Amino acid sequence: MTLVRGFLADTPSDPFRGGVMRTESDGGLLVRDGIITARGGFAVLQQEWPQEPVLDLRGGVVLPGFVDTHVHFPQVRIVGSLGMPLLDWLQQRALPEEARLADAAYANVVATEFVTGLARAGTTSALVFGAHFPDAVSALFEAAERVGLRVTSGLVVSDLVLRDDLLITPELARQESLTLARRWHGHGRLRYAVTPRFSLSCTDAMLASCADVLDAVPGALFTSHVNENPVEIAQVRTRFGTGYVDSYDRHRLVGRHTVLAHNVHADDAELRVLAERGAVVAHCPSSNSGLGSGLFPMRRHLEQGVRVSLGTDVGGGTSFSMLREGLQAFFVQQLLGPAGVPLGATELLWLATAAGADALGLAEVGHLSVGRRFDAVWVRPAPSSPLEVPLRHAESETDAVARVFTLASPMDVAGVWIDGDRVHG
Ligand code: GUN
Ligand code: ZN
């Protein structure tokens, strides 16, 4: 057993429904076999368990491990291609790079770069948009397993619109997906996600094959993109004759196991469907800003009862840092004025941790409560970090977490644990 000591902060319940941030300025967590078995003030816990070795994480903040609910594995090398709208960016930057993952050796190296990026940023769980090639998807799962990350991912499938070398038939997509799911779903911390790229690049036959795979793999997630860019949305409407949400919903692909990224331009009827089905929208504010996709209507989502989580959307997004993503979410809501949702440190921490765990159905993580797994990130200012002075002068514990979201970078991530094992730092 280990007694973890530090400034603890987490959000066990939804702040959009009255939940508050929970903090312990000199807190303790007793961790046994990766599970938190006691929690309280450090002094009290040490009195009760004086023999246990202490893991001293004082100086900085101990937070639950971050949960990134939308991030693309094959795009780690193209982060920072600034200045293009979605469809141009896909054609000129993302898809040429994704085609290179046909080479298994190349995919292996990219997979290692990708999981290293996640762990260094403090991300312990992620719903990862995979690759168009089965061997590349296996390379990702293998790399995630080596690090110990909780990764849900799958084969990205499309049979239209994209360059030819990224297309597959619905029947082959079904077979390859089932083969991958049999190998990886439920293997350690890994799970399978059925992943059509977006309905714009899929026929109804392909989306029907996705529904077959989802039916055949109990506990699998479904993920894709929705309502990201006005040009894309108009093309979806022309082809399917319906709204974007319905292009998935008519194939029974929208439910509690569903995470759809973006949803910047949804109408109220679509929000009602998402809420009724219990689906999650992964908000990706850096990507929405970088690709000029638009300002996310978070208030309308929350008012309609749609579940919302946070995703970095690397490489449309600009970094692996869920802290930076939280800050960008804050900026976007500020820019919406009265139509925006005022996001404080509590809401940002919720979105970066427990909301993501809830979105991915990971009941074992998301906050630092007794019974949960010890997935945690220790943010402590690196030498000469811009975070150092403002953190030392924070006016309250909540304010300290706000400063972490504002100023911390992966350089300040001093340690990361999954199931009690240190995976970085
Ligand atoms: N829609 C379809 N593919 C993509 C992608 O790779 N990134 C983003 N942001 N949107 C998409
Ligand atoms: Zn995406």
**b vs e for 21-38, b when ≥16 Cβ sit within 10 Å of the residue's Cβ?**
bbbbeebbbbbeeeebeb
Instruction: State the first-to-last Cα distance of the chain, in angstroms, to the nearest integer.
Output: 20
- The answer, yes or no, to whether any atom of ligand 1 lies below 6 A from the CB of 288, is no
Rounded to an integer, the average pLDDT of 200-207 is 98
Cα 90 to ligand 1 centre (Å):
7
The pLDDT of residue 415 is above 90? yes
CA angle 408, 65, 374 (to 5 degrees): 135
Rounded to an integer, the average pLDDT of 283-288 is 98
Rounded to an integer, the average pLDDT of 252-281 is 98
pLDDT band at 234 (very low <50, low <70, confident <90, very high): very high
Residue 120 · residue 410 · CB < 8 Å: yes
The pLDDT of residue 82 is above 90? no
Rounded to an integer, the average pLDDT of 377-393 is 97
pLDDT tens digits for 40-79? Answer: 999 999 999 999 999 999 999 999 999 999 999 999 999 9
Q: Which of 136, 173, 128, 154 is nearest to 320 (CA)?
A: 128
Record the pTM. Answer: 0.98
pLDDT at position 248 is 98
3-state helix, strand and coil shares in percent for the chain, rounded to the nearest 5? 45, 20, 35
Residue 68 · residue 61 · CB < 8 Å: no
Q: Under 8 Å CB-to-CB from 406, ≥6 apart: which residues?
A: 327, 390
Assigned token pair, 265: 């331009």
The pLDDT of residue 322 is above 90? yes
- The answer, yes or no, to whether any atom of ligand 1 lies below 6 A from the CB of 232, is no
Q: If you take atom 3 of ligand 1, which residue's CA is the nearest one?
A: 197
Q: If you take atom 9 of ligand 1, which residue's CA is the nearest one?
A: 316
> CA-to-CA distance for 193 and 331, rounded, in angstroms?
31
The pLDDT of residue 83 is above 90? no
Eight-state DSSP code of residue 289: H
**Domain with residues 66-320, CATH architecture:** Alpha-Beta Barrel (3.20)
Q: Which helix (H) or strand (E) holds 308?
A: strand 307-310
Rounded to an integer, the average pLDDT of 80-84 is 89
Which stretches of 66-122 are assigned E, i.e. beta strand?
66-72
pLDDT at position 419 is 98
Task: Please count the CA atoms within 13 angstroms of the CA of 142 that sit on its side-chain side.
Answer: 13
**Residue 14 phi/psi, 5° resolution?**
-65, 115
Assigned token pair, 122: 């403090």
Domain boundaries, the chain: 2-64+367-424, 66-320
28 - beta bridge partners?
A: 5, 40
Cα 10 to ligand 1 centre (Å):
31
Eight-state DSSP code of residue 156: E
Q: Which CATH superfamily is domain 2-64+367-424 in?
A: Urease, subunit C, domain 1 (2.30.40.10)
pLDDT tens digits for 112-124? Answer: 999 999 999 999 9
Around ion ligand 2, residues with a beta carbon closer than 5 Å are: 261, 313
- The answer, yes or no, to whether any atom of ligand 1 lies below 6 A from the CB of 71, is no
Residue 378 · residue 423 · CB < 8 Å: no
> CA-to-CA distance for 118 and 175, rounded, in angstroms?
30
pLDDT at position 66 is 99
- The answer, yes or no, to whether any atom of ligand 1 lies below 6 A from the CB of 307, is no
CA angle 232, 260, 404 (to 5 degrees): 110
Q: Which of 226, 200, 401 is nearest to 296 (CA)?
A: 226
What is the pairing mode between strands 35-41 and 22-32?
A: antiparallel
The closest-lying atom of ligand 1 relative to the alpha carbon of residue 198 is 2
Cα 278 to ligand 1 centre (Å):
23
- The answer, yes or no, to whether any atom of ligand 1 lies below 6 A from the CB of 197, is yes
The pLDDT of residue 222 is above 90? yes
